[in-house]
């Protein structure tokens, strides 16, 4: 009996921690989202978070998107040129950016910038008793700190992804037309032909999930941070790593289940 | 005159997972209305955990806690705001909000509780509170620009902003020089008396505890082993209390 218990323990123990952690995270998110229907509604705090997560990410998103579009166009041209189909560079860049690279790259950049900052801010508030101070003042930290950040993530990420798509395609167009000498009209025509509205919606829906994920993970890691400055560092690090991995795994499944505007050349 | 007990711990038991001993082991403590109670004891004796129980930041594994006669174990999450509105607390490290100025920190509880007041009403209250803690003219400074003593005073001003009836102080003079510590102690006494509040102070400073406490209790291994007036504590026959006071040079 003892042998059986030990054997089962060896098999299942490694799963206990992650499953418990996932459950704990789920409860945290549920308890935070419950406040969405309970006053007071702090619009000012939400606007501040939108400013931080959205507006302050614009520059880094623009920089990332223009070079992503540019390098993708160049690499696609190198490959398509081998088989004489360089006219498809525009479509290839457009589809890749709008469906996948836009939401994933934007989310990774925002997770690295805002997600890490969220974990560090809330973690620091935890270890310096500022969260306790909020509770003593009869203010729920989940309502005051966590909910506005999650909502701001869900609002901002789709907008940032739209911005990424626009700038990224511009970067791709410039490289394709002026470096690879692809005809402007062909580039645009193929892009328009292959790119359907649902490709864009596909990326935007992904962004909603990613915005929720990166902010909620940042908040969760900061909220349960302990052990002083070292703990804040660990929480920040974990928030970024967990967000990156979750975004990449989710991207695969969302790519399968969210419809796209796939069409074939007729 | 009949004594009114505002805050009472009855047989409170708490054992944190991973700890070899219970942090609170059937702790009993009563705080009389309008009096200053000082809780002294070694580091790790369970003093701060006791305060957190009063605010329901931590739930006990056993026993009961009464605030103004109400068993807080029966209070649901929706009733927590009502419970906590009785309290003001000065934290060990002041717990000022880093991103807010002194003025915003102090008016924060007021802005949250009374969001429709005029800006001038918030600012007048801040001026009044800053004057009461001797920090006139510091409204626009950020917490990072303040010394330890100033941070404590701003924390005290914030704690009393809504005129709470129970004040909790978690080691209010730890890390301060003797002169500043004395100033904070005097401010605490003056503030408590002015508000007529019941105060529970956690302190390492035995001299100060015996000087300004109406009642002093000693916690040891999660239990209150002695309670009484400062004179009664000085005369205590309990060897642990005697040794503690002696080692602090208070006998």
Mean pLDDT by 10 residues, chain A (266 residues): 81 84 93 88 92 96 96 94 89 94 97 96 94 91 95 97 96 94 91 90 96 97 91 95 96 91 54
**CB-nearest partner of A130 from B82, B95, B109:** B95
**Residue B89, C-beta contacts closer than 8 angstroms, at least 6 positions apart:** A133, A136, B51, B55, B159, B167, B168, B169, B170
Q: pLDDT at position A266, please?
A: 40
**Predicted TM-score (pTM) of this structure:** 0.88
What is the mean predicted confidence (pLDDT) over B189-213?
A: 91
**CB-nearest partner of B57 from A124, A130, A132:** A132
B115 has a chain A CB within 8 A of its CB: yes
Determine contact, residues A128/A226, Cβ cutoff 8 Å. no
- Closest Cα of chain A to B237: distance in Å? 37
> How far is residue B146's CA from residue B102's CA, in Å, rounded to a whole number?
9
Chain B residues whose CB is inside 8 A of the A40 CB are 112, 115
Determine contact, residues B44/B19, Cβ cutoff 8 Å. no
Q: pLDDT at position B91, please?
A: 92
- Closest Cα of chain B to A229: distance in Å? 14
What is the mean predicted confidence (pLDDT) over B5-33?
A: 92
User: What tokens does B171 get?
Assistant: 């080691």
Winning range, highest mean pLDDT, from A211-220, B163-172, B185-194: A211-220
Q: pLDDT at position A264, please?
A: 47
Q: Which residue of B has its CA nearest to A139?
A: B81
Q: pLDDT at position A262, please?
A: 66
Distances (CA, A) of B44 to B209, B243, B249: 18, 17, 21
> How far is residue A8's CA from residue A10's CA, in Å, rounded to a whole number?
5
Q: pLDDT at position B42, please?
A: 86
**CB-nearest partner of B91 from A124, A132, A138:** A132
Determine contact, residues A107/A210, Cβ cutoff 8 Å. yes
ipTM of the complex: 0.87
Per-residue pLDDT of B77-98, as tens digits, reads 778 888 888 999 999 888 999 9
> How far is residue A165's CA from residue B138's CA, in Å, rounded to a whole number?
48
Distance of CA A99 to the CA centre of its chain: 13
pLDDT confidence tier of residue B106, bands split at 50, 70 and 90: very high
Per-residue pLDDT of B51-75, as tens digits, reads 999 999 899 999 999 999 999 989 8
Asked whether the beta carbons of residue A138 and residue B81 sit closer than 8 angstroms, the reply is yes
Q: How many CB pairs under 8 A join A and B?
A: 45
> How far is residue B202's CA from residue B31's CA, in Å, rounded to a whole number?
13
Q: pLDDT at position B1, please?
A: 62
- How do beta strands B5-14 and B24-32 pair? antiparallel
> How far is residue A73's CA from residue A89's CA, in Å, rounded to a whole number?
6
- Closest Cα of chain A to B5: distance in Å? 21
Q: Helices (H), strands (E): how many in chain B?
A: 9, 10
User: What tokens does B219 get?
Assistant: 């916690």
User: What tokens does A253 get?
Assistant: 């499944």
**CB-nearest partner of A136 from B55, B82, B98:** B55
Q: What is the average pLDDT value for chain B, to the nearest integer?
A: 91
Chain A residues whose CB is inside 8 A of the B112 CB are 40, 137-139
β-partners of residue B32 are: B5
Residues A1-22 as b or e (16 or more Cβ within 10 Å = b): eeeeeeeeeeeeeeeeeeeeee
Asked whether the beta carbons of residue B80 and residue A138 sit closer than 8 angstroms, the reply is yes
């Amino acid at each position: 009996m003892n042998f059986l218990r030990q054997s089962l323990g060896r098999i299942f123990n490694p799963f206990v921690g992650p499953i418990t952690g996932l459950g704990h995270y789920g409860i945290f998110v549920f308890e935070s989202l419950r406040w969405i229907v309970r006053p007071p509604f702090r619009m000012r705090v939400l606007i501040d978070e939108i400013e931080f997560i959205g507006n302050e990410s614009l520059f880094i998103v623009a920089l990332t998107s223009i070079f992503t579009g540019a390098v993708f166009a160049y690499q696609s041209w190198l490959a398509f040129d081998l088989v004489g189909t360089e006219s498809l560079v525009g479509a290839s860049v457009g589809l890749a950016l709008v469906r996948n690279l836009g939401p994933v790259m934007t989310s990774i950049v925002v997770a690295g910038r805002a997600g890490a900052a969220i974990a560090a801010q809330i973690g620091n508030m935890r270890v310096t008793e500022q969260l306790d101070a909020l509770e003593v003042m009869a203010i729920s930290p989940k309502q005051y700190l966590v909910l506005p950040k999650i909502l701001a993530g869900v609002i901002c990420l789709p907008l940032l992804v739209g911005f990424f798509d626009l700038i990224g395609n511009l970067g791709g167009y410039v490289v394709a037309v002026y470096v690879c000498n692809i005809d402007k009209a062909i580039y645009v025509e193929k892009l328009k032909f292959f790119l359907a509205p649902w490709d864009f919606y596909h990326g935007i829906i992904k962004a909603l999930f990613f915005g929720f994920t990166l902010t909620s993970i940042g908040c969760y890691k900061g909220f349960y941070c302990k052990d002083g400055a070292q703990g804040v560092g660990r929480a920040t690090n974990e928030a970024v790593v967990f967000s990156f991995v979750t975004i990449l795994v989710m991207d695969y499944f969302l790519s399968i289940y969210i419809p796209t505007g796939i069409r074939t050349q007729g | 005159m009949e004594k009114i007990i505002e805050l009472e711990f009855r047989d409170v038991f708490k054992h944190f997972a991973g700890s070899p001993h219970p942090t609170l082991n059937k702790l009993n403590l009563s705080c009389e209305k309008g009096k200053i109670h000082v809780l002294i004891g070694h580091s790790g004796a369970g003093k701060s955990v006791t305060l957190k129980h009063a605010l329901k930041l931590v739930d006990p594994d056993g026993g009961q806690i009464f605030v103004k006669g109400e068993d807080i174990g029966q209070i649901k999450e929706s009733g927590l705001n009502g419970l906590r509105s009785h309290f003001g607390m000065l934290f060990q490290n002041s717990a000022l909000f880093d991103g807010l100025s002194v003025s915003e920190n102090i008016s924060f509880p007021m802005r949250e509780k009374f969001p429709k007041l005029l800006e001038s009403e918030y600012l007048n209250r801040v001026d009044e509170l800053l004057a009461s803690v001797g920090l006139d003219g510091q409204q626009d400074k950020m917490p990072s620009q303040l010394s330890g003593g100033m941070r404590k005073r701003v924390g005290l001003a914030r704690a009393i902003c809504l005129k709470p009836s129970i004040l909790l102080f978690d080691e209010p003079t730890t890390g301060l020089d003797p002169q500043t510590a004395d100033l904070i102690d005097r401010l605490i006494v003056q503030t408590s008396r002015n508000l007529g509040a019941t105060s529970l102070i956690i302190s390492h400073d035995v001299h100060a505890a015996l000087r300004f406490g109406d009642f002093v209790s000693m916690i040891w291994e999660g239990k209150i082993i002695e309670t009484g007036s400062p004179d009664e504590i000085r005369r205590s026959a309990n060897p642990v209390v005697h040794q503690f006071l002696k080692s602090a040079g208070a006998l």
